[in-house]
Amino acid sequence: MAEVLSPCGGYETLEAVLRTGTDAVYLGSRHFSARASAHNFDEGELERAVYECHRRGVKLYQAINTLVTDDELPLLISEIETACRLGIDGIITQDLSIPYIVRECCPKLPIHASTQMTVHTAAGVRAVKALGFCRAVLSRELPGDIIKSLASLGIETEVFVHGALCMSVSGQCYMSAVIGQRSANRGMCAQACRLPASAVRGSERYDLSLKDMSYIPFIKELDDMGVTSLKIEGRMKRPEYVAAAANACNTALSGGVPDMKTLSDVFSREGFTDGYYYRKTGREMFGTRTKENVRAANDAIPKIHELYRTQHKYAQVSFSLYAHEGEPARLTAYDEGGTAVTVTGDTVQTALKRPLDIEYITSQLSKLGDTIYSLGEVSADISQSAMIPASQLNALRREACSLLDRERAAAKTKVYEFSPFKFKPEPHGRQDKQLRIFVSDVSQIDGADISGVSLVCIPLGQEKKALAAGIAAERLAVVCDRFTFDEQGLTERLRAAHQAGINRLIATNIAHIQLGKDLGMRVSADYGLNITNSVSAQVLCDMGAEDITLSFELKAGKLRQISSPVPVGVFAYGRLPLMLTVNCPVRQAVGCKGCKMELYDRTGRVFKIKCRKECGYVEILNSDLLVMSDRLSEFDGVDFLSLYFTDESAKRVGEVISAYRSGSALEEKNITRGLYFRGLIQKEENK
């Protein structure tokens, strides 16, 4: 049966959900947690949490799931070493440096590929499996049929079944970072999607705010598919929310009817949605937190407290009592798994009135109260006139249960050996900066002077058009779809491009590196891989990437710190992508016919919409244009500059290329330098 996996943002929530009942929990420490605003756990709390979970037979996974810079690598290594020493059952991560560190230092430590790695296809699953991940946390946008197919690929799969939905595909949201310097990939998301944003100019709407998801009513279906772990979102939620969600999951998984009303009352945004699961995106998936929702929560919370007023019974304990006059009493306690302990009491006395019998012994030993145990079998080897006072029998029971707790915890706590991390970067030979351009349509370079451009990156499917325009095949690369529901179709389109003579693909997520390897194509890793340190660059090189575009969330100074075995580039021009979303905010609001390819926020900013309807997603682009043509010295040590064009004319494309060749300024009204100088806001513990 699949495990129910519950979130814990702090110790109070951990206690609540353990008392309610769960199979596993996930939490973060004070460093590298994608929920940096949660209380999280210091080392002492983490050690205590491991004990409390393991004595119950509950697994504990630690989320070390933010991106890491080179100067943070020593702290990251220390964090992983601590996880090994404490006996964490697995770590959840998105940063590619971690599988490399684990392989070198503690290869037996289980690692899970976070949903922020955007794993949503068979090739993505195969890629993370090859890196050493034992579990893939799948993207939340997947329908049931794709979940079922991915659950059969020989790796554990984890699926979100309840909780908040981000408007953007996890790991591909940069809105909070670009607008407010608070990076979701660094655990500091400001939830800009919950603020007013409208597809209708001048109207206050919430066209980026989705309802919470809930698959709990058909959770058995997911279990039958072979899904390993049923995950509840909510490390920022209060204990009552997590307890109610865990209880509902347990009820549904055991064949009962979950209390969805109470679950909706404690927290919802105008109800729940299962739209992604059934491929029914649109208006019905959107919602906000209303006053009625808040009032319902206030009424529901006292009721939910009853769920964890008493301790959930995780195990059955059986007892065997030895009591003969003149000898010390001995009580043995053992669980279903064979863990056994024996405690010794005072010398057994001769009964003056009523001697011991099995009914009396069972009555005393059954008083298990707030322990994690229910009563199993009771047996006794007692002499005819033996007597033990109730107080002593109760003390023996309490001592035996406490000792059994410790033995159970020790048996479930696996400590992993950790060897020193030895990593010597092997930087490639630097070269003069080259220009590569990304166009939305080949017509954008019709007549433009691209003689100084080393690589022209075109949308997959436009290769014949590009070749007909006279661009040599060796100068072309096809850009893979950033999200796909049809990987077989994507593979066939890549194969067709390869057969047409184009031998390079631009990988926008980890699956594409695997596909490139399968097809024998050269691979360039784009910004969607979120590379922020030298170890991750080495991992991509080992996977087969010939060059890497680094994360545009890095400051210019951090870019220069990265030592890569392959050439590195930067996003140097264009509208920075803010969101990659499967649910189109414009279509659900005004329909495709009324689409102006724009979204408006409460400050008057206008965000461009890049429609990829044929692929099943859209991109929301920044209102301002990133321009660095007059600041190229900031990119010293970078090998190539990538220029991303959206709706520019061929004339404008030529002007931009010329400016980047000469290092001159571009005349634009609303420009930004992105995060290259501002940098990101960091939580104090990660500084």
For residue 544, the domain's CATH number is 3.20.20.70
Choose the final residue of a domain: 366, 382, 412.
412
Which of 115, 149, 138, 128 has its CA nearest to residue 487? 149
Q: Could you give the CA distance from residue 527 to residue 506 in angstroms, rounded to a whole number?
A: 10
Q: Could you give the CA distance from residue 443 to residue 277 in angstroms, rounded to a whole number?
A: 38
pLDDT bin (cut points 50, 70, 90) of residue 686 is very low
Q: Identify the pLDDT of residue 606.
A: 95
pLDDT bin (cut points 50, 70, 90) of residue 243 is very high
Q: Do 529 and 548 touch, CB atoms closer than 8 A?
A: yes
What is the DSSP pairing of strand 328-335 with strand 315-323?
antiparallel
**pLDDT digit string, tens, across residues 126-157:** 999 999 999 999 999 999 999 999 999 999 99
**pLDDT digit string, tens, across residues 355-385:** 999 999 999 999 999 999 999 999 999 999 9
DSSP-assigned beta bridge partners for residue 375: 317
| Residue 587 falls inside a structural domain | no
Residues 103 and 148 in one domain: yes
| Residue 559 falls inside a structural domain | yes
> Is the pLDDT reported for residue 684 higher than 70?
no
| Residue 85 falls inside a structural domain | yes
User: What is the per-residue DSSP string for 32-48?
Assistant: S-S-TTS--B-HHHHHH
**pLDDT digit string, tens, across residues 575-591:** 999 999 999 999 999 99
Choose the final residue of a domain: 308, 334, 357.
308
pLDDT bin (cut points 50, 70, 90) of residue 107 is very high
**pLDDT digit string, tens, across residues 379-414:** 999 999 999 999 999 999 999 999 999 999 999 999
**pLDDT digit string, tens, across residues 420-436:** 999 998 888 777 899 99
| Residue 179 falls inside a structural domain | no
Residue 525, helix vs strand vs coil: strand
> Is the pLDDT reported for residue 287 higher than 80?
yes
Residues 401 and 543 in one domain: no
Q: What is the mean pLDDT of residues 334-360?
A: 94
Number of domains into which the chain is organized: 3
| Residue 611 falls inside a structural domain | no
pLDDT bin (cut points 50, 70, 90) of residue 668 is confident
> Is the pLDDT reported for residue 463 higher than 50?
yes
Q: Could you give the CA distance from residue 331 to residue 243 in angstroms, rounded to a whole number?
A: 35
Q: Do 385 and 326 touch, CB atoms closer than 8 A?
A: no
| pTM (2 d.p.) | 0.96
Q: How many CA atoms lie within 13 A of 284 on its CB side?
A: 9
Residues 27 and 81 in one domain: yes
> Is the pLDDT reported for residue 685 higher than 90?
no
Residue 155's CATH number: 3.20.20.380
> Is the pLDDT reported for residue 687 higher than 50?
no
**pLDDT digit string, tens, across residues 542-599:** 999 999 999 999 999 999 899 999 999 999 999 999 999 999 999 999 999 889 999 9
Handedness of CA 138, 141, 146, 147 (dihedral sign): positive
Residues with Cβ within 8 Å of 604's Cβ and at least 6 positions away in sequence, in order, are none
> Is the pLDDT reported for residue 184 higher than 60?
yes
Residues 495 and 638 in one domain: yes
**pLDDT digit string, tens, across residues 111-121:** 999 999 999 99
| Residue 30 falls inside a structural domain | yes
Q: Could you give the CA distance from residue 218 to residue 191 in angstroms, rounded to a whole number?
A: 29
Question: Which residue carries 């329909």 as its tokens?
Answer: 591
Q: Could you give the CA distance from residue 145 to residue 383 in angstroms, rounded to a whole number?
A: 64
Assigned token pair, 84: 């090994």
Residues 456 and 526 in one domain: yes
Provide, rounded to the nearest whole percent, the portion of the chain with pLDDT above 90: 90
Q: Do 515 and 488 touch, CB atoms closer than 8 A?
A: no
| pLDDT, mean over the chain | 95
Q: How many other CB atoms sit within 10 Å of the CB of residue 659?
A: 20
Which of 180, 185, 673, 645 has its CA nearest to residue 448? 645
Q: Do 670 and 633 touch, CB atoms closer than 8 A?
A: no
Q: Could you list the residue range(s) of the whole structural domain that residue 559 is in?
A: 434-574+626-686
Residues 22 and 153 in one domain: yes
Q: Could you give the CA distance from residue 20 to residue 318 in angstroms, rounded to a whole number?
A: 23
What is the DSSP pairing of strand 522-525 with strand 545-549?
parallel
pLDDT bin (cut points 50, 70, 90) of residue 683 is low
More confidently predicted of 684 and 513? 513
Q: Identify the pLDDT of residue 300.
A: 85
Choose the final residue of a domain: 259, 285, 308.
308
Show the 3-state SS of 514-562: HHHHHHCCEEEECHHHCCCCHHHHHHHHHHCEEEEECCCCCCHHHHHHC
Residues 566 and 656 in one domain: yes
Q: What is the mean pLDDT of residues 172-188?
A: 95
